[in-house]
A and B are shown apart, each in its own frame.
Chain A
Amino acid sequence: MTASGCGGTGRELAQFYDVMRLGAFVTRSITMAPRAGRPTPRMAETPSGLLNAVGLQGPGVDAFLEQELPWLAERGARTVVSIGGGTVAEYTALARRLADAPGVAAVEINLSCPNVEDRGRVFARDGSAAAEVVASVRAATRYDVPVIAKLSPDVADIVAVARSCVDGGADALAMINTPVGMSIDVDTMRPSLAAGTGGLSGPAVRPLAVRCVWQVHAALPGVPIVGMGGVTTGRDALELILAGACAVAVGTALFHDPYACPRILRELEELLQERGFDRLADAVGLAHRPPGSAPRNRTDLEESSL
């Protein structure tokens, strides 16, 4: 599947292949009102990484429901709608607007938004604020539409935030959103991004993503995790799956290779086959098994599968 904010409206990728072929299309985070985002430059390349400060530019929920969602539904894309807000009430209102819209496969809550009621502290840093958002979005969403809470790695204890979100009613967790980074242009001696800081993505953050998925899966093995952060190949996707993710999203890699999603899926299928897995589910969290318990051959793997 695509990572939020990295697949445009879907139409852009559809120039290259059918969006129905994606496991799921995750929209950029939708806000109530249209947002112009941050000034440019909005991006800076770093070694194996990308800093971005787009600032949730988007047309607002009305235009999204009118122009973007119906198009995705028509194309048969499984659409996960990401929502972003500044207050619990805004998230709730967004969830209500989505509740009657056809074609929403799941709602993903982007918790890395500044909470305007808490001096701009992002929701994802505070377990109780995150849980409050999750609970009210869950209550406003149709019972058969899963709610996914998307976590930030910029926290002291990601397991605690994950647990609060699950207690608040999250059906699944997505991780990781971009950690905050910065780069300074030594020629101009100014920050490279107009906004100063930005979110770091790409392979540079993959070890961070693996660690977060690993810790949360270890603590909450029954909760489905959508893993993301720096996935550019099937091997990278498998790494997150072995850490405990049951689905993998691809973001920055799409900028380099518009075909990244179908290519990574193909590579992953080949890797799973080579290793003798019949189903992806058998590989989920497998790296957690005690050392030496499962040599890499088919029968042993079957015994050790969850």
Chain B
Amino acid sequence: MAGSPVQVTGTVLTTRRVDAYHALTVVAPGIADRYRPGHFVTVAVGGPTTSMLTRRAFAIHDVKPDYGGTVELVFTVRGAGTAWLADLRARDTLDLVGPLGRPFPLPRDPCTCVLVGGEYGSASLFSLGDALQQRGCRIDFVLGAAGADRVFGALRARRMGETTTLTTEDGSLGMRGRVTDVLPGVIADARADVVYACGPMDMLRGVTAVAAEFDIPVQVAVEERMACGIGVCMTCVVPVIGDDGVTRMVRACTDGPVFRGERVRFDDVGTIPFDALGAPGGRHA
């Protein structure tokens, strides 16, 4: 199976700071070969005697063929695990499992795509952009964050995209506001056929609503707390409507993280909707 994940002990090649983010390039041959845009990896944090039992999930930002294959992760320090990662130096080793999850589906025929990224969510959009351009698609970027130093990849977006629109909540870069404020204009101007989005849940909900107004498909990559990343623990579930119209609590790690936006019940994330399959007191119980 081409997509099946592997566990590798990778060697850190380089570490660097990119504005508010840390970027880590790791030699991880088996993972780089199998990578498709939208995949993620999980890493073990804290070293061999760690007290941190769950692996941390990160989107793969980039893969390169050097040294048999490298992967680059972009992350922000949130707690103890990401703080440990930020302290890694070149030649340290890192235990990775990947590539994981269902990648972004690509259109069969050339079309116009708007790629929307919030905070570090834009990290997974550039390899997606490459893949789309190779298929002859036009791409336009909309990137947003709280402030200028948290907008990831603005330069690269400007180089790649037909247009690039930036938003910050404090107005320190681009337009003041959120990506959803400018998205309708971008979709209309580009006459977009499809939207891809990666970022915080709130943003994905907003983006999905905008795409629905234009009646165009939207693919979103969601983020939910994960303990295993490989589909065995059932902690990462989100309510998603299936082809049969039934809502199920599905695993973001293996059934996602990429879903069709209109299928995700964003308003019900963090709950069990009463009409979900197997919900307490629900019609299927």
Contacts and interface: CB of A to CB of B under 8 A. Distances in A.
B235 A42 contact: yes
A45 B225 CA distance: 10
A155 interface: no
Contact of B44 (A45, A49, A256, A259): A256
B217 interface: no
A134 to B, nearest CB: 26
Contact of B284 (A33, A45, A54): A33
B271 interface: yes
Contacts of A21: none
B270 interface: yes
A152 B35 CA distance: 42
Of the candidates B225, B236, B282, the one having the most CB atoms from chain A within 10 angstroms of its own CB is: B225
A interface secondary structure, majority: loop
Contact of B270 (A5, A58, A194, A259): A194
A58 B234 CA distance: 9
B4 A37 contact: no
Interface size class of B (residues with CB under 8 A): 35 or more
Of the candidates B224, B234, B237, the one having the most CB atoms from chain A within 10 angstroms of its own CB is: B234
Interface size class of A (residues with CB under 8 A): 35 or more
A42 B269 CA distance: 12
A57 B7 CA distance: 27
Contacts of A38: 272
Of the candidates B51, B54, B231, B235, the one having the most CB atoms from chain A within 10 angstroms of its own CB is: B235
B228 interface: yes
Given A194-B270, A256-B44, A7 B235 contact: no
B154 interface: no
B161 to A, nearest CB: 34
B23 interface: no
Top 3 A-B pairs ranked by shortest CB distance? A34-B278, A8-B232, A255-B228
30 contacts: A5-B233, A6-B233, A8-B230, A8-B232, A12-B231, A15-B1, A15-B4, A33-B278, A33-B285, A35-B285, A36-B276, A36-B277, A36-B280, A36-B282, A37-B237, A37-B278, A39-B272, A40-B269, A42-B235, A43-B233, A48-B51, A50-B54, A58-B278, A202-B53, A203-B53, A252-B53, A254-B232, A255-B55, A256-B55, A258-B7
B52 interface: yes
A12 B232 CA distance: 6
B97 interface: yes
B254 interface: yes
A257 interface: yes
B53 A256 contact: yes
Contacts of B116: none
A12 B280 CA distance: 27
Nearest to B231: A12
Given A16-B5, A39-B271, A43-B225, A255 B233 contact: yes
